[in-house]
Amino acid sequence: MTKYNWKEQRDKRAFLALEDGSVYHGYSVGAEADVLGEVVFNTGMTGYQEILSDPSYAGQIVTMTYPEIGSTGMNSSDMESRKLFANGFIIHDLNHPSNWRSESPLSAELLKNKIPCIAGIDTRALTTKLRSAGTLKGMMAASGTLSEKDAVAKAREWCGLDGQDYAAKVTCRSAYDWNPEDSLDDSWGVCDKLPPADMNVVALDYGIKRNIMRNLRRCGMKVHVMPAKTTATELLGKKPDGVFISNGPADPAALPYAVETIRAVLGKIPVFGICLGHQLLGLACGAKTRRLKFGHHGCNHPVMRLENRKVEITSQNHNFIVDDKSLDLSQVEITHVNLNDNTVEGIRHRKLPAFSVQYHPEAGPGPHDPFYLFREFRKMMESR
């Protein structure tokens, strides 16, 4: 492997300009490009590849609070989608990879996917800023052609993510069957035997992650993935045993077509949603969504399952939530709550076979705390 030239890299000056006029200086370790995005912070100590390749991060510039990033490199097995989707990446210090699973360095994959990354920034100071001011629009300038004044102006002029349909940008172009051979990763030497796929599930792709489909397949479900703008008629025409509503980026209120589809299938077949899918189910049940101050982004968020008061350590990535005050509790019950801020983390319809969670059970930071949700989905289909 070619030795990394740290001095040459640090000479590639770059900066982040925020809409409030703040500027943070560092150096470029990714694509030499200028991008706009909503600046958020992620509290995970690892998992940067899964973060970058999660379509839910489309439109966002992700700041890692953990200072040392890059030591595990990048590999094909840990990709959560077909490419890297985050608009930009901000880290304190880039490490050269030193891991037996590494196939390429982080910087090489960022260049390949044309994603800018700034290192050398005081990420603690930036995180403190975002916690205090809330999520901010920002401009990453890594091309060397943009002035700080112009970058701040562009950040202020950008439309942001509110009211924007990013699911249509990240969804699959056409329907496909998830390949069972891709359902398990044996790079750790684990050769699980898959159960028969005796349940047919349609997964609505608003930015779906591969590990969700792996977990559905591990529970004996054959997964047929359909694009975001699939209608209820098209969906029901596949005669599925159940419908899965995937995670995805940006504002759930900007997807009225998705809400219409979900509302039309409620009561006809079992429904299970994750993250954006949770918000869309909430909207389909008559609730409203609202924006959080700085969102939930990380793999260490405690969530209580109210049924038994057990606490799950969860992975999360969302800026919007289902507003608990807008829920009709005679129709929908709250099943999970976030112990950091008491926001809604799970709902279940009292009369119809439908439930959802705000967090990402497939990410498994627990590591297996929430796997029961996939089994519950199967039981719900079996009972029908």
pLDDT confidence of 1, banded at 50, 70, 90? very low
Distance in angstroms (rounded) separating the CA atoms of residues 249 and 350: 28
Q: What is the pLDDT of residue 199?
A: 97
Task: Indicate whether 1 belongs to any domain.
Answer: no
Instruction: At 120, give phi and psi (nearest 5°).
Output: 85, 0
Same domain (yes/no): 255, 149 = no
Query: Cα 307–308–310 angle (5° rounding)?
Result: 120
Q: What is the pLDDT of residue 365?
A: 78
Same domain (yes/no): 40, 179 = no
| Overall average pLDDT of the 315-336 stretch | 97
What's the structural domain count of the chain? 2
Q: What is the pLDDT of residue 186?
A: 43
Distance in angstroms (rounded) separating the CA atoms of residues 77 and 301: 25
Q: Which residue in this structure is represented by tokens 């629009």?
A: 137
Task: Indicate whether 249 belongs to any domain.
Answer: yes
Same domain (yes/no): 12, 150 = yes
Task: Indicate whether 162 belongs to any domain.
Answer: no
Same domain (yes/no): 209, 327 = yes
Structure pTM? 0.94
138 with 126: CB under 8 angstroms? no
Same domain (yes/no): 260, 370 = yes
Query: Is residue 349 classed as helix, strand or coil in its secondary structure?
Result: strand
Same domain (yes/no): 97, 217 = no
Could you list the residue range(s) of the whole structural domain that residue 55 is in?
A: 6-157
Distance in angstroms (rounded) separating the CA atoms of residues 192 and 119: 39
Distance in angstroms (rounded) separating the CA atoms of residues 33 and 38: 16
Q: What is the pLDDT of residue 167?
A: 98
Mean pLDDT of the chain: 93
Task: Indicate whether 194 belongs to any domain.
Answer: yes
Task: Indicate whether 148 belongs to any domain.
Answer: yes
Same domain (yes/no): 185, 77 = no
pLDDT tens, position by position, 138-165: 999 999 999 999 999 999 999 999 999 9
Task: Indicate whether 182 belongs to any domain.
Answer: yes
Same domain (yes/no): 184, 90 = no
Which token pair is 295? 């969102």
Amino acid at residue number 209: K
- Tell me the CB-side half-sphere exposure of residue 250, using CA atoms within 13 A: 24
Sign of the CA dihedral running 132, 30, 169, 147: positive
Distance in angstroms (rounded) separating the CA atoms of residues 42 and 204: 26
Distance in angstroms (rounded) separating the CA atoms of residues 92 and 63: 9
- Give the list of residues 6+ apart from residue 63 with CB closer than 8 angstroms, or none: 39, 40, 41, 42, 90, 91, 121, 123, 126, 127, 130
CATH number at residue 113: 3.50.30.20
- Tell me the CB-side half-sphere exposure of residue 141, using CA atoms within 13 A: 21
Q: Which residues are catalytic?
A: 275, 360, 362
Q: What is the pLDDT of residue 41?
A: 97
Of the residues 105, 136, 157, which one is the last residue of a structural domain?
A: 157
Q: What is the pLDDT of residue 182?
A: 53
Same domain (yes/no): 129, 183 = no
Of the residues 157, 192, 226, which one is the last residue of a structural domain?
A: 157
| Burial bucket for residue 288 (CB in 10 Å: 0-12, 13-18, 19+) | middle
Same domain (yes/no): 276, 200 = yes
Q: What is the pLDDT of residue 6?
A: 57
Same domain (yes/no): 174, 132 = no
Of the residues 107, 122, 157, which one is the last residue of a structural domain?
A: 157
Neighbours of 190 (CB within 10 A): 8
pLDDT tens, position by position, 119-129: 999 999 999 99
pLDDT tens, position by position, 39-89: 999 999 989 999 999 999 999 999 999 999 999 999 999 999 999 999 999
pLDDT confidence of 368, banded at 50, 70, 90? confident
pLDDT value at 7 more than 70: no
> What share of the chain has pLDDT > 70, as a percent?
94
pLDDT tens, position by position, 232-265: 999 999 999 999 999 999 999 999 999 999 999 9
Same domain (yes/no): 81, 193 = no
Query: What H or E segment, with its residue span, contains residue 168?
Result: helix 167-170
CATH number at residue 210: 3.40.50.880
Task: Indicate whether 246 belongs to any domain.
Answer: yes
Give bridge partners of residue 23 from the DSSP assignment. Answer: 17
DSSP class of residue 252 equals G
Q: What is the pLDDT of residue 364?
A: 78
Task: Indicate whether 371 belongs to any domain.
Answer: yes
